Amino acid sequence: MEVQERFIRLPEVLNVTGLSRASVYRLEKANIFPKRFKLTTNTVAWKLSDIRGWMESRAEASA
């Protein structure tokens, strides 16, 4: 089953990854976590495929 690409906001990123808000921003700053996109002046989001790819890479690294 193919999942459609979409943007997800921070609460969903936290829910999907299990990371804290501080961890997401710290890892992003260190270029370890996918970069967010600015959608509007006051809105940022991440691509779901980028988050899933990061999660898969972490699983492979720990295996």
Residue 2 pLDDT class (50, 70, 90 cuts): low
d(CA 17, CA 54): 9
Tally of domains within the chain: 1
Query: Is residue 1 in some structural domain?
Result: no
* pLDDT over 80 (residue 11): yes
3-state secondary structure of 50: helix
Q: What is the DSSP secondary structure assignment for residue 39, as one 8-state letter? A: E
Residue 5 pLDDT class (50, 70, 90 cuts): very high
Q: Which two tokens stand for residue 60?
A: 């492979």
Nearest to 53 by CA among 10, 15, 17: 17
Query: Is residue 46 in some structural domain?
Result: yes
Query: Is residue 16 in some structural domain?
Result: yes
Query: Is residue 38 in some structural domain?
Result: yes
Query: Is residue 2 in some structural domain?
Result: no
Query: Is residue 12 in some structural domain?
Result: yes
Q: Which domain holds residue 58?
A: 7-62
pTM for this predicted structure: 0.88
pLDDT tens per residue, range 16-61: 999 999 999 999 999 999 999 999 999 999 999 999 999 999 988 8
Res 63: pLDDT: 78
